[in-house]
Structure 1
Amino acid sequence: MFSVLHVDSNSFYTEIVKDLIAKNSIQYLTARNIKEAFQTLENNKVDLIITGLEFTDGTGDAFILSLYKSDYKKIPIIVLSSRDDLSIKTTLFELGVIDFIPKSLFIERFIPYLNNITLLDSFHKTLQNISIAVLDDNELQIRVIKDIFESYQIKNVDYYLHPHELLSSNKQYGLYLIDFILPNISGERVIWEIRSENKYALIIGISSIDNEKIISQILMSGADDYISKPINKDIFFARLNANLRTYRLLQKLKQKNLELEEMAKLDSLTRLYNHRYIYERLEEEIQRAKRYKHDLSIIMFDIDNFKQVNDIYGHPTGDEVIVKVSSTLKNICRSTDILGRYGGEEFLILLPETGLADGIKLAERLRTQIADLTYSQESLKVTISGGVATLGNQGALELVKKVDNLLYEAKNSGRNKIVY
């Protein structure tokens, strides 16, 4: 959590600052004088200091000067004071404070800082959760980047000295930092290969050669940004922060695209695969079964007298029947079985690595359990008729035709049965 130390002897403004910071889920630490401030710094992680200028044990500018001569010199400082004097401001800015805010304008002026703090906290959390790969053939540069990441407690990073180790790792990362000058293969080629496999990754090229041609090559090869060596810690994280906003948008786009792709495969009522996709999967499973000489069986069934269900009980009840039959399929079938709604009341089940005998057993189990289902209309009972076929030398069309004929044989010979 981001932590703010507020050093002020005025209890009124202490409460104002405390309330404002607490509303933004930021840790608030307070000290009434310089001695307490250093005690707090010794015992706590502090990310920002807000200080007044008048204390019982010294002046504000002396406090700030002592901070910049101590181990806490990297902590940014904002001065909050009722003394709005230009010479004081000049002195404080020369000491290194990042802002001077009059107390009368504190709330208005401090809100942007709070917004930035929230974004920074989100940035750190994203970096700590994202998988990161660093590729650089220079061990010293690897060490520099590693030290930068570890200073922010970011340890979810894999480091590579050789391009082939990264490309052959079969790992996909959310963030790549790729040196552009590499042995045996160009950074441009590495970036291109990564981008072709992972279009939603964030890729940043790094190089000591800082000219327009190199930068344009890095960006044209598929990188999102470029960082020049030697790496400056503050600029490094600022560029990462800017690019992670794009990364988060890309991840949302990726998730949305996956959802749309899944929706295109599924029947909206049953959440089983739709006719188009189940047929595509059948073609794939036939190719796989023939290639590896595995068994493949399929079951096709439909609901007996389904038109009468709709005519007598109405379409909402018809939908209830379809949904309950689909749920029974999901509960009985294996996770490796592939389930589809082939038509209105017609279903197709693909059974990889399954022979005819086991396919018949599953079909009979489905038939008996579906016959036992109950519905909101207590008088309603539903049965199914189906066929089971196993793969020979047929293609998808011939196999579907075969099982479809078996289904109609079951229909024509009395219904509520499985034919094979």
Structure 2
Amino acid sequence: MMDNFCISIMVATGIFFVSVLLFLIKIIVSLKRKMLYLNELTQKDELTQAYTRRYFLEILEYHLRLLHRYHNSSAVLMIDVDDFKQINDTHGHLFGDEVLVHIVNECNLKLREGDVLARFGGDEFILLCPLIDREDIFVVIEKIQDALRTYQNIPISISVGVCLFSHSLSAEAIVQCADRELYEAKEKGKNRIECVMP
């Protein structure tokens, strides 16, 4: 009788521990899924699904550490949609959002494997093109410009500032350099490319 009672207690205890273990596994899996989701939210722009500015800067920092070893040139491009405010004002913000998504989709089709596109803010994007020279960067930009000429019969143009670098600048200095070149492109009439190698 005592043996049956002990066996019953052992079975009940075993079932209890298995139930607790399964419950804990369920909680851990749920937390892991939530962590992955939150991680993706910090890496991807919700609207365009391009990388976020913050994540781009992390990638650029990592790339700079690698570039220091291999001594090749790379480029960072600041891309701005010309007259985007006018597009929003004329066609509405939902249409403007569609234009931004279209730009990211078209860019992703034209970029090389390893290129990294991020939404920098508003209608500005930033692009890292690793291991590229001046001539090839213009080929990449022209492909993007050609793909973006119109969206639903609305003319679209972009201005691009390029910082081509081959030595150890800081990520901040490279982004500022590309931003200055973008400003120059805008000042000189838009729908232009300005490029510098500091």
Structure 2 length as normaliser, TM-score? 0.82
1:382 to 135, 156, 160: 156
In structure 2, the CA distance between the partners of 1:296 and 1:236, relative to structure 1 (3 Å rule), is farther
Match of 1:323 in 2: 101
Report the AA paired with residue 301 of structure 1. I
Greater fraction of residues in helix: 2
2:184 aligned with 1:406, yes or no?
no
2:75 aligned with 1:297, yes or no?
yes
What is the number of equivalent residue pairs in this alignment? 187
Report the AA paired with residue 278 of structure 1. F
Report % sequence identity.
Answer: 32
1:417 to 169, 184, 192: 192
Distance in structure 2 (CA, Å) of the matches to 1:261 and 1:318: 27
Distance in structure 1 (CA, Å) of the matches to 2:113 and 2:171: 22
- State the Cα distance separating 1:236 from its structure 2 match: 7.4
Secondary structure of residue in 1 paired with 2:163: strand
Report the AA paired with residue 78 of structure 2. M
In structure 2, the CA distance between the partners of 1:351 and 1:236, relative to structure 1 (3 Å rule), is farther
1:255-294 equivalence runs, <5 A = 255-294=33-72
| Bigger Rg, structure 1 or 2 | 1
Report the AA paired with residue 419 of structure 1. E
**Conservation of the 8 A alpha-carbon contact between 1:303 and 1:382:** yes
2:30 to 248, 252, 255: 252
Unaligned runs of 5+ in 1: 1-93, 99-231
Match of 1:340 in 2: 118
Secondary structure of residue in 2 paired with 1:393: coil
Distance in structure 2 (CA, Å) of the matches to 1:324 and 1:303: 12
Secondary structure of residue in 2 paired with 1:298: strand
Structure 1 length as normaliser, TM-score? 0.41
Report the AA paired with residue 330 of structure 1. N
1:9-28 equivalence runs, <5 A = none
Q: What RMSD in Å do the two structures reach over aligned CA positions? A: 2.6
Distance in structure 1 (CA, Å) of the matches to 2:111 and 2:59: 17
Report the AA paired with residue 390 of structure 1. L
Secondary structure of residue in 2 paired with 1:323: helix
Distance in structure 2 (CA, Å) of the matches to 1:322 and 1:259: 23
1:7-406 equivalence runs, <5 A = 239-240=17-18, 242-371=20-149, 373-375=150-152, 378=153, 380-391=154-165, 392-406=167-181
- State the Cα distance separating 1:344 from its structure 2 match: 0.7
**Conservation of the 8 A alpha-carbon contact between 1:299 and 1:388:** yes
Distance in structure 2 (CA, Å) of the matches to 1:269 and 1:345: 12
Distance in structure 2 (CA, Å) of the matches to 1:352 and 1:341: 18
In structure 2, the CA distance between the partners of 1:296 and 1:237, relative to structure 1 (3 Å rule), is farther
**Conservation of the 8 A alpha-carbon contact between 1:301 and 1:407:** yes
**Conservation of the 8 A alpha-carbon contact between 1:298 and 1:350:** yes
Distance in structure 1 (CA, Å) of the matches to 2:134 and 2:14: 62
Secondary structure of residue in 2 paired with 1:350: strand
Distance in structure 1 (CA, Å) of the matches to 2:113 and 2:14: 46
Residue by residue over 1:96-151, the C-alpha shift from the partner in whole angstroms, topping out at 9 and shown as x without a partner, is xx9xxxxxxxxxxxxxxxxxxxxxxxxxxxxxxxxxxxxxxxxxxxxxxxxxxxxx
**Conservation of the 8 A alpha-carbon contact between 1:301 and 1:387:** yes
Distance in structure 2 (CA, Å) of the matches to 1:296 and 1:237: 60
Report the AA paired with residue 177 of structure 2. K
Distance in structure 1 (CA, Å) of the matches to 2:190 and 2:135: 21
Report the AA paired with residue 393 of structure 1. S
Report the AA paired with residue 402 of structure 1. C
